[in-house]
Structures are given as C-alpha cells and as structure tokens.
C-alpha cells in the first residue's frame, strides 16, 4: 500500500512527533500552545507533510517553504527542509515517496524548481529522486 502523507495536525503533538524530529537534530518538545500556534501559522507556502503509522505514531516528516521571487518572471522556488524518516522504517522507500510528495506539491504550486541542502552521504539518495548537485551551502551561526 502506498503511504498516505497528509498535512501536519494539532493532534500530532501527541504522536511522538518530537521523537521523530530528534532523529534529525536537537528537537526538545515545545509546549502544546506553541505547537498549536506553529501549526496554525502554516500556510500553502509553508507546509509540513507527515506520515502516520497504524500505531498512531508519526514516522516521516518533511517541510516545504515556497518563496515568491521577482526574478525568472516572478518565479516561485520551493525549499525542502527537515526531511526525516524514523530509523525503524528505513529501507521501505518511504524517504523517496516523501520527497516525491513534496516535489509534486511544489509543482502543483507553480514552482520552477525545488532546492534543498544535504550532507554528502545522502547526495546519491537525492540523485535517485531526480535532483542534481548544484552550489555550496554556506552557513553563519550566531
């Protein structure tokens, strides 16, 4: 059966979502009001798709941030962020299906490209998803 991704919901707060995010990076549980406020503020241009398993646990998540530009005929660019699949669900192709879901969404929204930053060890994964290596990511931490 194909995984059925859906938009994040308020009730995901109770579905071990922060356990999943903690597999990505430091992600302490926020309080529920802040979570609700975060979900409320999401829009068509800032959206999170998740996958829930049959034990009511979120096992995959990915964000799309859509940026309206002036260049390229007022083109729109989709930034993919914070891709994570639960380590116990690795090897089932969920990651690729999640990326396909996010890129399809970006296409429906009229974006001319999708970009993301990733570590070198997952470059081959994104190449299998149709991406090509472009520029270098630079970062400045405060």
Q: Which residues would be at the binding site for a copy of itself (CB under 8 A)? A: 17-18, 21, 24-28, 30, 34-35, 38, 41, 46, 63, 65, 67-74, 79, 81-82, 103, 106-107, 111-120, 123, 126-127, 129-142
Residue partners of 78: CB distance under 8 A and separation at least 6 = 64, 65, 66, 67, 102, 103, 105, 106, 109, 111, 113, 114, 115
What's the Cα-to-Cα distance from 130 to each of 9, 35, 69, 98, rounded to whole Å? 29, 33, 23, 13
Least CB distance from residue 94 to a copy of itself, whole Å?
19
Shortest approach of a copy of itself to residue 1 CB, angstroms?
26
Contacts of 47 (CB under 8 A, 6+ apart): 7, 63, 64, 105
Residue 80 C-beta: closest distance to a copy of itself, Å:
9
In the complex with a copy of itself, the residue whose CB is nearer, 45 or 56, is: 45
- Element (DSSP H or E) covering residue 67: strand 58-68
Is residue 50 a contact partner of residue 60, using CB atoms and an 8 Å limit? yes
């Amino acid at each position: 059966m194909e995984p059925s991704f859906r938009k994040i919901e308020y009730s995901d707060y109770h579905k071990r979502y922060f356990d999943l995010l903690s597999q990505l990076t430091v992600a302490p549980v926020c309080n529920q009001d802040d979570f609700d406020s975060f979900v409320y503020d999401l829009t068509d241009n800032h959206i999170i798709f998740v996958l829930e398993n049959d034990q009511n646990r979120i096992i995959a998540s990915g964000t799309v941030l859509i940026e309206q530009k002036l260049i390229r005929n007022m083109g729109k660019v989709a930034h993919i962020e914070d891709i994570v699949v639960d380590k116990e669900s690795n090897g089932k192709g969920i990651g690729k299906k999640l990326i396909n879901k996010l890129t399809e969404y970006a296409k429906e929204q009229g974006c001319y490209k999708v970009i993301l930053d990733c570590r070198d060890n997952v470059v081959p994964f994104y190449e299998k998803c149709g991406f090509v290596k472009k520029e270098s990511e630079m970062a400045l931490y405060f």
